[in-house]
Chains A and B, each alone.
Chain A
């Protein structure tokens, strides 16, 4: 079993294993690292490796989406929030040990159930010529070599024709999110709004900034 496991590692699978191991390690690092800025940076690494995995699976659109939206917008936003909030570094290990037993029992139970049921269903890999291995693939996508029709094109052609209403509804969801965010954060009475005070900002002096 193990021999065939190593024999079958071709270049695609090697990249797959590299990306997935980095993904898992960075995911663990997100929740264990104490400094929250490092944690957000690990989150960025996590998204980038996930995007690499998706590229291997020929989901170009999804991987570009990961880079643009998650790395470009959400993670940077997190970084800003973390820097602005001035979170104190707390000793979390005590809390962590309090929740580990119950959390690991429930999570492990769910993981075992789902993985056993999924493995019992997907016993074979249809991309594998000598079937039996779920994780390996040694297929050559001839379709790719004949007709280069990328993921993004296919999605666009589907999205603007067959799923046009769903596309509009997604636009409505975004509109609602904008309206909701503006309404919930906007101050009506205009008393305590956090505006930029140019005079105060310009007249700051390096002598009275740092207070010990």
Chain B
């Protein structure tokens, strides 16, 4: 009877807490919002959901089950190891900060529906489940939960036809990619008779394709490889890797910025955790077949992300293309398939999330005072003379941009160098050279933003509303983290080292 929900299965206590809280929040919202005088409910729900996520973070941090001997529960469908622990902590804390950041944007855009926050919390629940999923069914359900929430979030601003278009586009393409994932999964199940990552690992630690095993038959893995390719395609679609990235600038640019900050900052990590579980953990025996696809797509997305971003005039689509190139760097480390590869991948994604959080929060918080220019989709030229109107924010913004570009006195330099070192150590010299060169190209458009902020020869700039304490605290502390982590990167590498210990 130990398959039922018992108290000893504390592994999913944060998820259970979050799910129950979501339902209570829904009940609360639907009771309060139907009161007679139509109260402004958004402020209240933002604070409540921030509180829920805070408790969730607290529960996850104090949940040391991954130290115990058997860390899988519910017939091995959920795993709790250091990878899921650290990713869940990161996701919970980053979503908490994102929710605090979007509060004023929601007020400005008059999105006064409590369901928005409920949907965000459901998406976070999907991330949690995906981080601890240990079989394909759970992973698929978690991906569906998360991406359905994202479709609604993209289309949430109903009076803007851009937003509705973004939601529809995201929905059609996303459900197509989910169907491809299901197809690949069904082939894997048909061939191997199991859906569990643990089983695959046990099987393929003994068995690698293309060898004779003394049972007089060579293990033919063509169909299994094509199933893996289908799974790669659908997961890369969710990550917006180069040939499948076309939806991402459109969706990022057209959906409301409060949703875009979630798409850009939080959503990548959990998919990467699933990729690590499938390819570094269970199908690591197939590395000589899957690494070729992944290296090709990684280099392609680095190139496309760097060169197309040169043309962009809107800040949002520029950041979308830059995220395409960053996913390319991450996948270069991923395709090495080594211990250092996973370690550098995790370090890179952490810094990427931190930098993304900082940039997108500054982007959200710069609310222009000019009334007739009350648009949210900023051109690059809207940032002219930011240094005159808000000096500290200008410094923070340019420091973060330099860190993403990979300049030495900042942590972005170390993580990017780690990626190139991984590529060189696993003898991918050509990949390393190409990615270094395109990284130089991509530096251009980061520096151009800094030039626009500081050195533009115009007289009139834009004035912005001041920030409040919470927002200033978040921006400034992430700014200091970039410098602190350069001086003392041990914290970063310790976490990523413990993550990388998982599969090897």
Contact = CB atoms under 8 A, between A and B. Distances in A.
Physical interaction between A and B: yes
Interface of A: 113-114, 117-118, 120-121, 161-166, 168-170, 172-173, 175-177, 179-180, 182-184, 188
Contacts of B223: 117-118, 120-121
Contacts of B155: 184
B74 A162 contact: yes
A176 B74 contact: no
B122 interface: yes
A180 B152 contact: yes
B48 interface: no
B226 interface: yes
Contacts of B26: 179
SS class, residues of chain A in contact with chain B: helix
A169 B5 contact: no
Contacts of B113: 183, 188
Interface of B: 3-5, 12, 19, 23, 26, 74-75, 77-78, 112-113, 115-116, 118-119, 122, 125, 129, 137-138, 141-142, 144-145, 148-149, 151-152, 155-156, 158, 167, 191, 220, 222-223, 226
A166 B191 contact: no
Contacts of A162: 3, 74-75, 77
A166 B138 contact: yes
Contacts of A165: 5, 12, 74, 77-78, 138
A179 B114 CA distance: 11
Contact of A172 (B4, B125, B137, B220): B125
A184 B77 contact: no
A120 B222 contact: yes
Given A121-B223, A183-B156, A172 B138 contact: no
B148 A180 contact: yes
Nearest to B152: A180
A127 B112 CA distance: 60
Nearest to A187: B158
Contacts of A121: 191, 220, 222-223
Contacts of B4: 161, 164
Contact of B138 (A169, A176, A182, A188): A169
A111 to B, nearest CB: 13
Q: Which of B115, B141, B145, B149 has the most CB of A within 10 A?
A: B141
Given A117-B226, A164-B74, A165-B77, A176 B119 contact: yes
